[in-house]
Amino acid sequence: MASKRPQIQTAADISELLLHSKAPQPLTPEQTAELERISKYDVSTYSEEDVRAEIIDPVIRVLGYAKETYFSTQREKHLKVADGDLFIDYRMTLWSQAFWVIEAKKVKRKPLKFTSAELQQALLYAVHPEIDAALVVLCDGRVFEVYDRDENVTQPVARVEVKKLPEQFHMLQALLGPWQAWFFQKRRALRVASRVLQLEMTPGRIEEFSDAMQRRVQDARTKVYDNWRKVKPSTTEDAQWRTALEKASIRDIVATEFFSGQTASSLVFVAKSLVDKAELGAFELMYAMFPDHPGNLNDYYVAQALRTLIEFAKSGREASWMPSWLGAQQPGVNLEAPIKKLIALSLTAFWAAPEFRAVLQFTACARRLSKVLMALIPTLTQLGHIRHQQVRHFLDEFGYAQFLSTPEGHNLRQLDVHAYLLTERFVHGCADKQQFGDHGQFNLNRAHTLLKDSWNVERLLLGDGADYWMRLNGRGLSGEIHPTEHNWVDYDSLGHIVLCVLKDIPDWRGYVLANHSDDVQRIAACGSWAAREILGIAQDAQLPRLPDTEIAKRFFDGDVALFTSLRDAYCNRKPKT
């Protein structure tokens, strides 16, 4: 008789497993030492109580169960069956719900095998309504056997000898670890539903069953959010982030934190961290933020750099160096002038610094292009689904990453990565290294050529925009808070983000209003609520649109035809008739 071929896992199987299981956490050195110690015991004379105290109790602790936690143990649980009494050795609870049971046995036989009577006793406990556990564990001090009573009660799904505990413990972790046991129970619910549906004979009842399940899922949402608020302290991850930032170098912080959007408080904390790390003269900090020639750059970067510069000036310290495009380079630089220069550049789309302006224009175009390609090419969105599965399987179940994770959200966040990588190539491609050495001077003519090529590709792919929006909606990618489609097209995202920084600093808010009122008016006309707040204009007030020629000059170097083509395409949300 030919041996049965092993089942081949399909992509769907792997996806479901990742979504409905948790990766076991590595053991600490102390836990490994504990398992080593247990594996060396001579249990030949152990009583049932000895097995519990010396073998089962420490193994349960290493698995992650402990009193006064979400994953607790209950010993000697009393159960009623008709007029009889049962006392179960252990039941493991997750949020007070029992998901598996373990029964201790005395060492009394030579073969490492439990009798049917011993298993039947444990199964009787498991099927009790107060327990209803699928996983049943027997242990006599020499071996752990785990049975899945829904699938097979003749052969264990896992068998671990105590003397081999350090090498085989992962088998117990995979089934009995707190998170694993909980997800096993969820998979059990799916198995029961599948088993029922396999026997259905009326097609309409499938929809009725699905509707009933959906009602239960919807009814559970409020409870789920309530559970989240109870188990997740709002400051935990923020504290971890702040601690990591305090340990990071100046260059690491600039290379990471400057490229993503931050809350107002996070902007301030990053700025203060950098100021605290800056040595006398702050050359390393200033050069990391403001190199002589353009590096990778985006709107968030400019805003964080400005906030850091303001924080450094507030400290009363002097900078020994500043790039020529921000002003003086002599020792003892007064930071007021560079701050004013950076504000002026930010509110005018860097018109007076064309090399940096080209990089900002490109990174906005790169993000838009990435989103267009993600909408038009199905396989590009698979990365978001894979990333979502990884978060579900590997990351802390109590972390904000779990709460925020969706395939669509990961795809949208991936746009930042795409824009960063494409801009890195753009900057590298514009450096004249042969003429000016390793770093290279920025070739503005080459930058404008590459930028115009990118704009034309964007216009060609978009067409009239109708197909783009249809596909984008179909992939669930149209729900951005700050729509990529309008940044550096008809919306001044850079001006808005910088004004968000300045509006909360009274002195600089007053300076902007007194010296850049026209610029703030233009940014408000592009849709910035921060500009309206500074100007004292109601958020729902109607403002006259800027002329096409002015917007085209601001964002597309005066190419009106290109601007109107892209603007109209990105505004064309109506489906084709």
Query: Rounded CA gap, 527 and 492, in Å?
Result: 8
- Sign (positive/negative) of CA torsion 184, 188, 191, 197? negative
Query: Rounded CA gap, 312 and 500, in Å?
Result: 19
Of all helices (H) and strands (E), which one includes residue 441? strand 441-442
In the chain, the amino acid numbered 230 is K
Tell me if 338 sits within 8 A of 308, measured CB to CB: no
Closest among 204, 201, 266 to 239, alpha carbons compared:
266
Query: Rounded CA gap, 466 and 575, in Å?
Result: 6
Tell me if 97 sits within 8 A of 107, measured CB to CB: no
Cβ-proximal residues to 380 (8 Å cutoff; 6+ apart), any chain: 373, 374, 411
pLDDT computed for residue 460 by the predictor = 96
Q: What is 12-188's CATH number?
A: 3.90.1570.30
Helix %, strand %, coil % for the chain, to 5?
60, 10, 30
Q: Classify 104 as helix, strand or coil.
A: strand
Tell me if 322 sits within 8 A of 290, measured CB to CB: yes
Tell me the pTM: 0.78
pLDDT computed for residue 118 by the predictor = 84
Per-residue pLDDT of the chain (577 residues; tens, 9 = 90+): 454 544 545 656 788 888 888 888 889 999 999 999 999 999 988 988 898 889 988 998 999 888 777 777 766 665 666 666 666 655 555 555 677 888 888 887 677 778 888 888 888 877 777 777 888 899 999 999 999 988 888 899 999 999 999 999 999 998 888 888 888 888 888 888 888 888 888 888 888 888 888 888 888 777 776 776 666 655 566 788 888 888 999 999 999 999 988 889 999 999 999 999 999 889 999 999 998 889 999 999 999 999 999 999 999 888 888 898 987 555 556 789 999 999 999 999 999 999 999 999 999 999 999 999 999 998 888 888 888 998 888 888 877 788 888 998 889 888 999 999 999 999 999 988 654 444 568 999 999 999 999 999 999 999 999 999 999 988 888 778 778 999 999 999 999 999 999 999 999 999 999 999 999 999 999 999 999 999 999 999 999 999 999 999 999 999 999 999 999 999 988 655 4
Tell me if 181 sits within 8 A of 24, measured CB to CB: no
Q: How far is CA 311 from CA 271, 333, 358, in A?
A: 6, 15, 27
Instruction: Return the structure tokens found at 492.
Output: 């001044």
What phi and psi values does residue 72 have, to the nearest 5 degrees? -110, 175
pLDDT computed for residue 438 by the predictor = 46
Tell me if 184 sits within 8 A of 102, measured CB to CB: no
- Domain locations along the chain: 12-188, 237-347, 354-488+557-571
pLDDT computed for residue 1 by the predictor = 43
Bridging pattern class, strands 97-104 and 84-94? antiparallel
pLDDT computed for residue 88 by the predictor = 64
Q: Classify 86 as helix, strand or coil.
A: strand
Cβ-proximal residues to 296 (8 Å cutoff; 6+ apart), any chain: 259, 359, 363, 420, 423, 424, 427
Closest among 19, 388, 345, 407 to 186, alpha carbons compared:
19
